[in-house]
Amino acid sequence: MLDPNLPELRVFDYTACLQKVQAMDSRGDFSFKGIYKVLLVIFEWTDKFLQNKALPNTEQIERDSSVDRDRIEAYVNDLCFKQNPPVLKKLNVLEFHPNEPGDPENARTYLKHNTVFARPTTADGGTAFRYALGLNEHSVVAIKSWFEEKRKYSGKEKMKKVIKAAVDANRLFDTYAATEIGNLFQCPYDKTKQQKDATIVIHLKPVLKQLVDDKILFFFRNDNASRPGNKSVFIYNKPSEISDRYDAYVDYVKNTIYPALQKLGVVNPLSEEVWNSPREILVEILGYMNDSYGDQKTLIEETLVLNEIIEKDREKEEKQKRKQQVEELMLFLEQAGRIIELNQLRVSGEPLSDEFRSILMSHNDLLYAEYADRKIYNEFILHKGCILQAIESAKRNFAAKRNDLEIRVLNVMNITVHLVEEGPKRIFEEIEARSLFQFLPFLTKLWRMMIGSNAVHKHEIPAIKARLQQQLSKDLVAQKNIKIAQEKERIVRARLKEKEVQEKEDEKQTKSSSDNDSDSEPVKQGTPEEEKKWKESMESIVRILDEAWDFGIYPDREYVLTKLSGAYTEENLIFFLKKFGGKEIYSFPVRNQREKFPWPILVSASYLKRQGKRLLEKVSEESNRQRNEKFPNQEKFDIAESLLEFLNRILPRLKP
């Protein structure tokens, strides 16, 4: 919101300014002839501002004062900028012109800037606050009208191209909505930085804030940005557009930044799935970047911010979706009028997930029961609102098919606790008593059938129900054990399948690597002198690495460059190692220690063949020792774990 006490809004006292301008108009050299009339015209417009919400520009002043345009511009420049405090206040406003022809993707087509002038009255207390505030409100309305009626979004593919071009030119801020709107406030009267800053403070910042409050713009901070223009990020508040910007950022990281880091040898190839949730890899990439990367680093920072925002939005949408799905299921259960087998329920055609089941089962309007016999295990649910219908359903099924399953489940659910009226209670107790007849001792049951009495006496019911409950408990334990065993078997099969897939993938990568090596062989062929030079260089690098490992040093490429004493530049060394060191030199990163070990550690294949077994034993002992220490050394532990993982992966591949 605009601050009424801004020094940029202060103006000269009205009475004093009249005397001053009159004196200027009366000078003998006539250099300010008509300036007093210009002042009065501007004052008349200002005095009517409350009624017409308009202030005059130079064209309107020219019409009302009959002073020529050149003189008017000279006068307003003098009265606005050369007097301290100013006699007049130069202000800015945006106007919406919906019928203008031109590019619909360019805001300037429909939003026109207008420079106007105000001479605050005595009631304003020496400030132009009221007029700046009114003009800002007009500008906000104009921008909102353009945004809702005329603005055309260029689409995802063009967004990607625009982002790439902007980052490559180190001008990511050009893609912000704040930059587009800020360009609309460029005023021809603002010649100095102080004048431009005043326009930003009086107009641009309050307008941007109001647009954020009105949900036209979306704002977030990037305090880590190296340039002030990238710290406050305003983008248009359309979910699809924000999502497209995020996708464009990820696309740039995936296709430009990450491949460049791969060439430097600091990161490994990634699967496509990683980019679906790239937060971890973005954090890793950011660790390799400093301010010299310019807007590439800024883009990574903004991607992380947008990732958090989008993940929260997705989580919110997912919760809302789950809530709606639960409500739909609850409606279905309420209308079902009977017990429902939990495993038969589906959401979007899929069985209920564990998370969804827990949400559903926490609902107060549901009754739940486990039921098992010697063949099956089932879970049942019932909406409390249809207990009466469930009793009727159980009664019909028992009468028609002598099927007592629903009666047994309703008994386990203890539905009588939730019945207020005695009538339904009696009905359920009667059908339950009839269903218990089959559980009487054989001779008792036979005798009653002979005398035509298929009833169970009240005093017999508790004993039968206790026996049934005991049997149910045993069956539940037995069926749950069977279910657990089946689940374990399923997990084992799934893991074996994953292992087979991984082995096939590793085999494919090994074959691909072998093919690449064979493809690169022609590159290694040269004149005898060149081949001799390459061999000597490789032997020299291998010797440097082997000596470092013998002395307990973990060498990286910077260590090798130092030892080579300027024989290679960093780029030449990387190129040489990639072309000629594929089978002779291996590398691995040290996890969680980027500051001390920013580059992968190098080791020769020959050293691994000679000392690999000893290294493996030594690093295993160090890893176990640090793991068992009360206060372990984190650096030593990370080195040991990284080297251990590397050795376990590489040593089996090395031929003796």
* pLDDT tens digits, one per residue of 135-146: 999 999 999 999
Q: How confident is the model at residue 238 (pLDDT cuts 50, 70, 90)?
A: very high
pLDDT of residue 526: 52
Question: Does the pLDDT of residue 268 top 50, yes or no?
Answer: yes
């496509």: which residue's tokens? 272
Q: How confident is the model at residue 506 (pLDDT cuts 50, 70, 90)?
A: low
Q: Which residues contact 574 (CB under 8 A, 6 or more apart)?
A: 263, 264, 265, 557
Question: What Å distances lie between residue 389 and 289, 399, 404, 421, CA to CA?
Answer: 67, 15, 16, 14
Range 346-355 average pLDDT = 82
Q: Give pLDDT tens digits for 444-499.
A: 767 777 766 667 777 777 888 888 888 888 888 888 888 888 878 888 787 777 77
Nearest C-alpha neighbor of 636 from the set 587, 590, 603, 598? 590
Question: Does the pLDDT of residue 204 top 70, yes or no?
Answer: yes
Question: Does the pLDDT of residue 592 top 70, yes or no?
Answer: yes
| Cα distance between residue 237 and residue 225, in whole Å | 22
Q: Please give the single-letter amino acid code of residue 484.
A: I
Number of CB atoms found within 10 A of residue 437's CB: 18
pLDDT of residue 196: 95
pLDDT of residue 508: 59
User: Which residues belong to CATH 1.10.10 in the chain?
Assistant: 7-150
Q: What's the whole-number average pLDDT of the chain?
A: 86
pLDDT of residue 91: 97
Q: Are 557 and 599 in contact (CB under 8 A)?
A: yes
Nearest C-alpha neighbor of 654 from the set 604, 595, 596, 579? 604
Q: Is the peptide bond before 85 cis (omega within 30 degrees of 0)?
A: yes
Percent of the chain with pLDDT over 70: 94
Question: Does the pLDDT of residue 265 top 80, yes or no?
Answer: no
| Cα distance between residue 309 and residue 637, in whole Å | 35
| Cα distance between residue 157 and residue 148, in whole Å | 22
pLDDT of residue 517: 43
pLDDT of residue 522: 38
pLDDT of residue 524: 46
Higher pLDDT, 570 or 236: 236
Question: Does the pLDDT of residue 513 top 50, yes or no?
Answer: no
The string of DSSP letters for 435-462 reads HGGGGS-HHHHHHHHHTT-----GGGHH
DSSP 204: I
Nearest C-alpha neighbor of 561 from the set 550, 577, 549? 577
Q: Which CATH number applies to 7-150: 1.10.10, 1.10.150, 1.10.760, 1.10.238?
A: 1.10.10
pLDDT of residue 501: 72
Q: How confident is the model at residue 97 (pLDDT cuts 50, 70, 90)?
A: very high
Question: Does the pLDDT of residue 630 top 80, yes or no?
Answer: no
DSSP 273: G
Please tell me the least confidently modeled range out of 15-19, 517-521, 540-544, 602-606. 517-521
Query: Which of 54-63, 326-335, 607-616 has the highest mean predicted lDDT (pLDDT)?
Result: 54-63
Q: Give pLDDT tens digits for 156-174.
A: 999 999 999 999 999 999 9
Q: How confident is the model at residue 512 (pLDDT cuts 50, 70, 90)?
A: very low
Q: Are 130 and 46 in contact (CB under 8 A)?
A: no
pLDDT of residue 595: 74
Range 222-238 average pLDDT = 92
Question: What Å distances lie between residue 308 and 53, 229, 254, 281, 303, CA to CA?
Answer: 43, 22, 18, 14, 9
Range 171-195 average pLDDT = 95
